[in-house]
Structure formats: structure tokens, C-alpha cells
Structure 1
Amino acid sequence: MSLHPMCGVFVLLSICLISFTTPCYGGNILVFPVDGSHWINMKVLVEELHARGHNITVVRSSNSWYIAEKSPLYTSFTVQIKENLEEFFGKYLKNHLKMEREGASALTFLKLTKDFISMVSEGHFLWCEAISEIFDDPNRVKSLIDAQYDLVLTDPAVSAGVVLAKYLKLPLVLNVRWIPSGEGHFAVAPSPLSYIPVPGSGLTDKMDFMQRIKNLFFHSIIVLQQKFVVGPHYNALCDKYIEGGCDVFSLLQEADIWLFRSDFVFDFPRPTMPNIVYIGGFQCKPAQPLPADLEQFVQSAGEHGVIIMTLGTLVNALPAEVAEEIASVFAKMPQKVIWRHKGERPSTLGNNTLIVDWMPQKDLLGHPQTKVFVAHGGTNGVQEAIYHGVPVLGIPLFFDQYDNLLRLQERGAGKIILLADVNSQTFEQALKEVLHQESYRQNIERLSRLHRDQPIAPMDRAVFWVEYVMRHKGAPHLCTEAYKMPWYSYYCVDVMVFLLSAAAVLLLSTLAIFRFLCCSRKRKTKDKQH
């Protein structure tokens, strides 16, 4: 029986489509995110994994700020957190901003530092306590085991998910920039302090002697924080529930893949490892059309363009006097201004300034009318500014924000103005500099071209490596054995001691032989004389 010619064509086309279609490795993924702005990053990755056919379960706290209990993207696994840190965190931020603005005595600074350390310690303790309750509940443990997850995807800034992966004996993928003790590279990659700036130091990769001393000092603080503030909570959890015991730092080092939310367009060049995959800017997408009313406002700016300002998800409002100063400067500008501000409406606000509770930040950054981005320097905002090629005037407030903005400033793509220095004169001068000096836009556009010039999009790279770990049940062949070595072996101290000892023995033996020969010769000479 002969086939109709059209049937043959159909079969051929079907074979071609099957051959060129990317295979889908649908799996079960347990996601353990960190709340707040970190969830924004994780949610973008969750959305993509869900779109590619994976089943997602998200571990969330009962009093989560941003992670919804019900979602079409995932099934939630809710754990009970006994306290709500949001109010405590808000109070700390308010006091921190006040100190940044007004200055503080040494006593006030120490108190605020103590409060911060206490807040960090309490947050990690609460999560460890919540995970302990899961481990002590046979039904919940059984539900996790019966789900037959292929891997755990977690943000290790809170490392409870790292311990959970070890307990369930699952491969581990980190969506990471920060770990409890600081920047993630320092846990897994060689990090010479001579040219790798420690977070919080405010340094670049070009350091003089005094700056290297400062860098070492900041590194020592991070080591002490890990050892005495954060580490003990997780280590106690490991000792109680993980067979043979362990410590959380070693668990981080054992992670199969580090999806690192950075790249070397943004960060300073440094040593890395084969299981670190750089996905900086993976959340960035081409701009979508603005809502009609916002588009009308933006277009009304004409040739002068638009300035946008936001201080991220954590800070609703600047101190009132700072907001008044900034508003008065905006009122003088020929540009239109869109300002995300939830505080009291400044009395100096001009007709050219639109105050909003929320803004489509990515779409505004990608709009051709946007001229300058006034921002606090969060990682997401900085990477989106690079992606869309918009120069940044940064007002860093806390955490990693100064370091992020410093990387832009070092490359001539942004300018930093400290909160303590903000007044109508300094802010206007800085804003006009970024607006009118063409070098800022040229440099940020150069960074944008570099960032976009990649063989694989950062999101595709991230998903590939998640699926890679699922396909191969882990990636231990990419993990270095260095973390299993004691420090004296890692730095070859034992080899140097052995070689120095051997050289010393050889030298002393040679001297002893010469001394013996000389003494023997003298004795023979004396014997002849007698």
C-alpha cells in the first residue's frame, strides 16, 4: 500500500520539529526563598521554571511579607514563624536613616550596630527553629520525602534551605549573591584580599597599603560574624538532625551549582570556580508599553525627558527634610519626574513631579524618554539600569548599596551622593552633572552593550543548569575538593614546614660533617707533632 505524497511530507515535517524542539525535563523542585526584595529575583526564576513544565513547591513563612500562599506558579509549603520581624526591621531602618542623616555619637552607633546584629541573629534563629519543627514532625517529613523532589533551589542568605537539602539528601542549587556571612564568592572561590574588596569596605579592586589593612579588618568582622553570630544557629541544627554532623559553611561549599546574581560587566574581575554560573541581569527584559496615563505624562516631557526616582521596596520614605530638599530641586528641572514616595507629600513639590506608590520600574528604565535613574543602589535596580543603559545618581542607604553604586561610579556610569550630604545645592549639582555630562550616558550604554553581548541569555543559562543538575542527579564533578582540606594543607604550610625542615637538616648535617672532618684533621696534625 503506497502512502499519499502529502503524508510523507507531514511525517518529514514532524520529524524535523521533534529534532529541533528543545526537550523538556519536567521535574519537581523544592524552592526555599528569602522574603523581601530577594523574592523578586527568585519569583522571576520560578516563573520561568514553571513555564518550562516544572512543578514548583515554595517554602514560605506563615507571616511572609511578599510570598503569597496561593499562586498559579507553585504549591506553597507554609512553616510557622513565631515572630514577625517586619516591624523590628522597619524600626531599625528608620533609626539607621536618622543616624545617616544627622550623624551619631559612638554610643548611638554601637547601639544601632548591636540592634542590627541582634536582628540578624534573631532572624536566622527563627528560621532554624521553624525547620526544627518540620524535622520533628514525621508527617511533614514524610510529605517532603513522598513528593520526590529532584533538587532544592534556595537563596542561602538564609541558609535553612541548605540544611533542608542535606537532610532530604537532595542536590542543591543556590540562587545567590549573599550568604549569611557576606558575599558568596568568599565561601567557595579563592579571594585574595589584596585586590578583592570585602562587602561593606567601600573599596575597589585597586587598593593601596592602608586600604588593604581596612579590607583585612572588614574580612575579619565577617569571619567573626559567621563564627559567633550566625553559624552557631545552623551548626546546632546540623548536629541535631544531620547524621554525622556538619557545619553550614561546609554545606554551602558542597552546593552543586551557584547561580550567581552578578557578572563581570558589573563586578570587579576575580578568581572563580567551575560550578559558579553567572546570571547577572537574568530578571531583565525588554520594556513593555506603559499604562496610557503614565505614557501620556512621559510624552508630555518633550525633548527634556524624564527622571525617575525610587528607593526600593524596603524604604517607603526618606526623612521629611531630605524629601523637601529633593522635591525643591525636582521642581526647578525642565524634565518631568516620576517619584515613588509613600511618605508625607513634600510642600516644595513642583507641577512637573508625579508622586506614585508603585511604578513599572523596568518599563520606565527601558523608555527612550528616561534620562536619569535616582536610586538607592539595590542589586536589581543597578542591573536593570545597566541593561537599559540609564545613568544612575545613587543615594546609598544601607547593606550592599554603596558597594553596588561604587562599581558604577568606578566605570563612569553613575555618581554617588551620601544621604548625609544631600541638600538642595548638592543634589541639584549632582543631578545636573549626571544629566548633562554625556560621558555618564556613554559609559552606561557601553556597559549595556557589553552585558547584552552574550552567547546565551542569563535566564536560559540559569534554567539550563537547574535542569542539568536534575538530569545528572547533581554536579559533584564541578565541585572543588579544596574545602575539605585543613587550612595548613590548603596554603601548603605543612609542605613549606617540611621543606624548610629538610633544608635545615641537610644544612646542619653538612656543617656537622665539615666540623667532624676539620676536627679529625686537627687531631691527626697534633698526633704527628707529638
Structure 2
Amino acid sequence: MMVWSIGDEMAKNGHEVVGVLKSNFAPNKIKGYMDRIKVWTYEPLDNDIEKNFENSTRTFFKSCLNGAVNGKLVSQEEVLSRYVFNETVAMLNDRNLMEKIKRFKFDLAIMDGVILSRYHHIIPYHFDIPFITVTNFVSDPALRILALPSFSPNLFSPFTEAMTFSQRIRNLFLDICLRTNFLVQFLLPTEDKTLLRRYSHGNDVRSWEELVAKSKLFIVIRGSPLQYPTPVWPNVFQVYGLTLRPSGNLTDNLEKILAQNKEKKIVLVSFGSFGGLFPSSLAQLFLKSFGEMKNLLFIWSVKLDFPIVIPPNVKLFDWLPQKDLLANDKIVMFISHAGHNSQAEALYYGKPILCIPIFGDQEHNAIRVKYYGFGNFIYLHELSKDSLQERIFEIIHNNSMKTTVEKMKRFAQKQSTIDMQSLANRLENLLIFGDYNVKSYGQIMPLYNRRYGSSKTWTTR
């Protein structure tokens, strides 16, 4: 939804905006944008990758959850990368869509820059449409950032900015792996260059990272305080709360539950896409822990497909309006998997977070939450009834944390407004002036020259 949020801001400023989606997309996912953004569709490919994607994704999330329970990091599944490649092929094969893009003569393309989605960039590049990239971490290799690994922890490392010497060495190793594409190859074992050779202009790009690096502007969705302070190039813009939307009213059922439990402090629990994958043993651990804390009410977004005893102070829902609940004053804390959007929403509405990371950047996020003092974390493989209860009790009764969270709330609400206004101005300037005087020559220099000086050896007499 990141690119749709930016497109919506452009539409509000009077620009004509078009979004491209599969013909079988779920309209409810972009319900808040369809009034201002025109939608073009393409026909998905009729193959096993398309048909089995939902099951494959579920299998992937299950493997991540099981890995977290056992204290293991799970890498990206190949099928996810192939799915995005499949989507790109489908768009390129849709002659009607390609002809419409060619005739429309777009001034700008807003591209999702998450590592798994980079195949899409070949489409605006093929039609000579200037493009910007929305990415979720400032250490993205395509940004060729200025920050040194001595104080800027990699998104895949479990460190804060205040690293020990041994941690800096490990972070340096990760930094080199990421910038030399070794780590990207690990995450994407099927890095396919077929489309790159066919639709690029000759041989001017040798990899997908080089293609993405041609972006006129990079928008990083980890603005402060969801990112350690990091020096960046002029064409890199960090923004907080890009996907935040105004909160709405709660359903009558939720309002009734809150009204019936006025004397209790209420805890919201949600693990995003993992909510429907909890094994029986893990669900029982959570429910037993929650059930013994009778002075609290737990509202949990989870799907359990097995018989289990639900304590009276726990309310289960297949789906919850997370943002609307976090905005409610009766919610005192949030238990989460530490996903980026969940963190942004919790901070915006001033709720301390107990992070239980599962995969990807969530460990990095959880450690930063504790470092800045607006929550704490615990690993799934370390979880027990007592440790979970201790963390919950600590967060609810920590006055220092309450003060920090309240300050962060005011900062986040002000910063998100400033960032969105600044982003709108940056995009307007880009449309008028292009990337004049914002893209440094250092961004196209080879890694060994940019970060480590000249490759020549100098001697003195």
C-alpha cells in the first residue's frame, strides 16, 4: 500500500494517477484510494505459480513461524520471488496494458522497491518513464548510502547503533555482503535476468540493483523514530507514517466489549499475517498466560482451527481494525510481531509495544523498540508463561516507558504531517525540475572507490 499512499497524495494535489493491478485483485484492499486513483488491470498468467501462490505463501509463513519457535532464521522462499517475476511477465505480455502505458506518456512512475518486487522496474524503464522507488530500509544496496557500518546497523543484523567492536565487525561483513549483492542472491536464489536483457536499452544495466539505482528519488518509509539517524544522499527521502490513514469508529460489538470491561486494562494482540498459523501448543501458551492475568482483557486477532479453551478475559477475532483499536484510549499496550506498519501505528497512537519477532526485519525492529524505550521484546523460542507475563506486567507498570511513549506519540504525529508535506513538495519539484542537483556522482561510483578510496596504491618519498 506504500505506493498507493503516495499516488493518493499526488491525486489530492491535482495530478492524474493510474494504478496497475491484476484483474482478479480484491477491491477492499485499495478501498480508500479508488475514488482518486484510476485502476488499469492486466490478466494474470494461467500457470502453477499463480494458482498456488496463496498456498505457497501460507507454507512460507508457517516455516517462518516454526523457525522462530525453534530460534532459527528462515530465508525468503524462492516461490515468492518467482511470483513477482510471474506478475511482471504477465504485465509485459498484456498488449492492451502495454499499449495504454505507451500512449499515455506518463511523467513519473512510483515503484514498490521491496527486494522481492524489483522486476516491475523494467516496465517504466522500457518506456523511458522516469521512476522513483519506495523502499523499506535505508541500507538498501540500490541507494549506495553514505552511512558507515560502524554506526549504521544493517536491517538484517540484531544490533543497535551503539555496537560493540565485535558487533561492528559482524555488521561490516553483512554490509559488504549486501552491497556486493551476495546477500541479495541468498534471499533471491532465482535472480532472473531474462527480462532485463530483453527489455532494457542495450547493455546499460547489468543487474536489477543497477536498474533500481537509476531511480530519480528514493523514498524510505523508515523515518524517525523508526530508523536510527543515518546520513543519506540528497535524493533519498525518509518519511514516517506513509501508510497511516485516519482512524475510524469501532464496530458495535467492539464498543460493547470495551464498555463491559471498563474496570480492566485492555491489551491488543496481533501478529499480522501469522495470525491464522499458530500451532495448538503456542496458542495454548498464550491463552494460559493471558487467562491468569485476570485484571487485564486481551483482544486478539487470530484464527484457531482446532478446539481450545478460551479464558473469559480473552476475546478472539478472525480480523480486527488494528489502527482503530490502537487509537482508542482504553488500549494500554500492544503485543505484536514487530512489523513496520504495526510499529508506526502503535507509536502514532501512543501505545507501548511488546515485540515478539518472527522473521525478516522484525528482530531489528524489536531491538530498536527496546533501545529507544517505547517497548520491549522477547523471542518466541525463549517464550514461557512466566516470561510473557513478566514482560506484560513490566510494560504496563513502567512509568518511565509511559513518559517516553507519550513523547514519541506527539513527535510521531507532528513528524508524519511534516514528512507528508515535504514529500509532496519533493515530488512536485521532481516533476518540474527533474533530478537536477540532487543525485550525487558518488551514487554511480564503484563500491571500492566510493567507500574505500582509489584502487591505486600511492607511495611517498
Instruction: Using structure 1 for the length normalisation, give the TM-score.
Output: 0.77
Shift of 1:64: 4.8
- Residues 200-229 of structure 1, C-alpha deviations (whole Å, 9 max, x = no match): 211111112221232133334433143577
CA distance in 1, matches of 2:187, 2:246: 42
Kindly indicate whether the alpha-carbon contact (under 8 Å) linking 1:97 and 1:319 is maintained by their aligned counterparts in 2: no
State the partner residue of 2:172. 216
Task: Tell me whether 1:465 sits opposite 2:426 in the alignment.
Answer: yes
Cα contact 1:187–1:249 (8 A) shared by 2:
no
In the TM superposition, what are the counterparts of 1:222-371 in structure 2 within 5 Å?
222=178, 223-226=181-184, 230=188, 233=191, 235-245=193-203, 246=205, 247-285=207-245, 287-333=247-293, 334-344=295-305, 347-371=308-332
- Structure 2 CA distance, aligned partners of 1:489 and 1:249? 18
CA apart distance, 1:322: 1.4
Contact 1:128-1:234 within 8 A present in 2 as well: no
Give the Å deviation of 1:341.
0.8
Alpha-carbon distance change, 216 to 86 in structure 1, aligned in 2, over 3 angstroms: farther
Matched, 1:195 2:151: yes
Alpha-carbon distance change, 164 to 209 in structure 1, aligned in 2, over 3 angstroms: same
Q: Distance in 1 between matches of 2:400 and 2:200?
A: 55
Secondary structure of 1:254's counterpart equals coil
Question: Could you tell me which of 112, 118, 136 is aligned with 1:177?
Answer: 136
Asked if 2 retains the 8 angstrom alpha-carbon contact of 1:286 and 1:366, the reply is no
Q: How does 1:438-477 map to 2 (within 5 A)?
A: 438-454=399-415, 456-472=417-433, 474-477=434-437
2: CA distance between counterparts of 1:491 and 1:431? 44
Among all aligned residue pairs of Structure 1 and Structure 2, give the percentage whose two residues are the same amino acid: 22
- Letter of the 1:91 counterpart: T
- Tell me the TM-score normalised to structure 2 length: 0.87
Contact 2:4 2:19 in 1 (8 A): no
Q: Is contact 2:141–2:209 with CA below 8 Å preserved after alignment? A: no
Q: How does 1:141-180 map to 2 (within 5 A)?
A: 141-157=98-114, 158-178=117-137
1:397-452 residue CA offsets vs partner (Å, 9 max, x unmatched): 11111111211111111111111122221111111111112222222222222223
Alignment counterpart, residue 90 of structure 1, candidates 27, 47, 58: 58
1:390 corresponds to 2:341: no
> What SS does structure 2 have at the residue aligned with 1:302?
coil
Aligned residue type for 1:435: I
Partners in 2 of 1:227 and 1:336 — Cα distance?
45
Q: Secondary structure at the match of 1:250?
A: helix
SS at match of 2:67: helix
Q: Residues 321 and 492 (structure 1 numbering): CA distance in 2 closer, same or farther, change over 3 Å?
A: closer
Asked whether the 8 Å contact 1:298–1:336 carries over to 2, the reply is no
Q: Distance in 1 between matches of 2:400 and 2:229?
A: 23
Q: State the 1:307 CA deviation.
A: 0.6
> 2:120 is paired with a residue of what secondary structure?
helix
The structure in which a higher percent of residues are helix is: 1
Is 1:494 the counterpart of 2:451? The answer is no
Q: Deviations over 1:348-385 (max 9, x none)?
A: 42222221122121121111111010111110010111
**Structure with larger Rg:** 1
- Taking the TM superposition and a 5 Å limit, the aligned residue runs for 1:402-413 are 402-413=363-374
Using the TM superposition, give the Cα deviation of residue 62 of structure 1 relative to its aligned residue in structure 2, in angstroms: 5.2
CA contact (8 A) 1:405 1:415 kept: yes
Paired residue type of 1:239: R
- SS of 2:257 mapped into structure 1: helix
1:155 is displaced (CA, Å) by: 0.7
Which of 150, 160, 163 matches 1:207?
Answer: 163
Change (3 A) 1:79 1:400: farther
Q: How far is the alpha carbon of 1:396 from its aligned partner?
A: 0.8
CA distance in 2 between counterparts of 1:230 and 1:97 reads: 20
Unaligned regions of 5+ residues in structure 2, if any?
Answer: none
What is the total number of aligned residue pairs between the two structures?
447
Q: Is the 8 A contact 1:327 1:346 kept in 2?
A: no
Larger relative contact order (CA 8 Å, sep ≥ 6) = 2
Distance 1:431 1:228 in 2: 36
Q: Distance in 1 between matches of 2:60 and 2:118?
A: 23
Question: Structure 1 pair 44/345, CA: closer, same or farther in 2 (3 Å)?
Answer: farther
User: Which residue does 2:387 correspond to in 1?
Assistant: 426
> Which digits, 9 at most, give the CA deviation of each residue in 1:469-505, with x for residues without a partner?
2333x324211111322344434643762x42xx2xx
* Corresponding letter in the other structure for 1:77: T
CA contact (8 A) 2:240 2:415 kept: no
- Indicate how the Cα distance of structure 1 residues 411 and 238 shifts in structure 2: closer, same or farther if over 3 A, else same: same
Distance 1:455 1:428 in 2: 33
Kept in 2, the 8 Å contact 1:307–1:371? The answer is yes
Distance 1:291 1:228 in 2: 44
